[in-house]
Structure 1
């Protein structure tokens, strides 16, 4: 690919709800399929827009049910408002490629209200990431450099551990916009990174095994801040082909939430 043809964003907005994917979304499992992080973030963006219409500005939970691999191509996002109350709203969404649902989502959005917390709360102040981004050395995914893809979309720095070698903490920052011409929201930054928990904390050789997640749930206790998001992730595997990846999520101010992924583990 020539420099002039290099993609500059993960997606380009077409008509309302329609988007064209770039190769920056490519994942490590199949060259024709996206990493799940960018399309989850794309739906997060649409949910944010729907929630803001009701004055709900905090995305407290986003759950993605990944039905099929997401192809690199044209995508359609549809958001439904299921219920909106005074302080919270429930939303659902479909992500479609052609006439097929490739993922379905539910989300909880909340109204943000300033609150003064009591002094000396148990468990507070909340913990910080193992290292700050500027203290963490640059690191690359094992699949980086083979083809333009997710490893080019994000910059990564290692806060603890080692990529694909057990428990691991990694800072993520977008190198390119999620949608052409837009500044990604903090929630979109979290969503792009959070689906990588099973990858950064992998304990199996990805060239010999598949350990793909069929879902992702992100719970956030407050609005994230800044460009950097840290995943402190670990993977646990069962003996029946199942597994769980869990990530503690941090921004530069400290702990902000958790992400979990259900894994299907198979030999290649």
Structure 2
């Protein structure tokens, strides 16, 4: 396998994960983060097959339906609600013929709103002068080991702001859009602001929703993240999303919280 990418293409719709996709909860499973980016990559390829529409992906929601085996996956994209100014797409990821992720993406018309832009918040401290955090000491798996993570301030239980980037390609031999590369790193959020040691508690997310008020640029994904646990087994990971120019949107992940067996 090509050690310089997260996935290798098999054909137009199928991809094989490399060892760099190995999960944090189970190294024999795919970490969802690069798979989320791969879904956006598949959406980009779906849109590239038709004339330019001037629409921008402004929200994407992922529902994780089952175990993400470290095996070949197939992604099919279809248009649910066509339109000239608003469009809804759906992507389904299948492993061994079984749906494991269902994603829906809203595309909204692009336009010049520079004159009224505002309210997003302040920039984060740039990553260049920050020290790397060896998150692989806390979490196993090929995905976490592939990352360059730089906290803006010392991480605290349930609260961390950090920059994340990778030197790997998303798909070997295929260029990826800035948005697909950016989304590839968002699901890292649940692992950087741990409230409890993962050796004692489990808190995987069953979904991820990201809203964008501005299209992000790379290579850094900034995650200003807070994790809350409720009293009845649910948790919430909430992140303000940044690139080096400032906030670009928000992400939310619902967690199932339970002690390790």
Instruction: Report the equivalent of 2:197.
Output: 205
Q: CA deviation at 1:233?
A: 0.3
What is the CA–CA distance in structure 2 between the aligned matches of 1:253 and 1:69, rounded to whole Å?
36
CA 1:115–1:36: 2 relative to 1, 3 Å: same
Change (3 A) 1:143 1:27: farther
Q: Distance in 2 between matches of 1:6 and 1:140?
A: 24
Q: Paired residue for 1:239?
A: 231
Which of 125, 130, 137 does residue 136 from structure 1 map onto?
A: 130
Superposition TM-score, scaled by structure 1 size: 0.90
Residues 221-260 of structure 1 aligned to structure 2 (within 5 Å): 221-260=213-252
More displaced 10-residue stretch of structure 1: 56-65 or 224-233: 56-65
Which secondary structure state, in structure 1, belongs to the residue aligned with residue 204 of structure 2?
strand
Distance 1:22 1:78, change over 3 A: same
Shift of 1:122: 6.3
Q: How many residues align?
A: 258
Aligned to 1:42: 38
Displacement, 1:246?
0.2
Matching residue of 1:158: 151
Residue 64 of structure 2 is aligned to residue 66 of structure 1: yes
* Contact persistence 1:247–1:259 (CA under 8 A): yes
Confirm or deny: 8 A CA contact 2:93 2:102 kept in the other structure.
yes
Q: What corresponds to 1:22 in structure 2?
A: 18
Whether the aligned pair in 1 keeps the contact of 2:53 and 2:84 (CA below 8 Å) is no
Unaligned runs of 5+ in 1: none
Offset of 1:27 from its aligned partner? 1.2
Question: What RMSD over aligned residues (CA atoms) do the two structures have, in Å?
Answer: 1.9
Structure-1 separation of matches of 2:54 and 2:227: 33
Structure 2: 5+ residue stretches without partners: none
8 Å Cα contact 2:39/2:75 also seen in 1: yes
| Counterpart Cα distance in 1 of 2:234 and 2:139 | 30
State the 1:145 CA deviation.
Answer: 8.7
Aligned to 1:98: 96
Q: Give the TM-score, by structure 2 length.
A: 0.92
Deviations 1:65-115 (Å, cap 9, x if unpaired)? 001121111000010111121112100111000111111110011232233
Distance in 2 between the 1:248 and 1:218 partners? 10
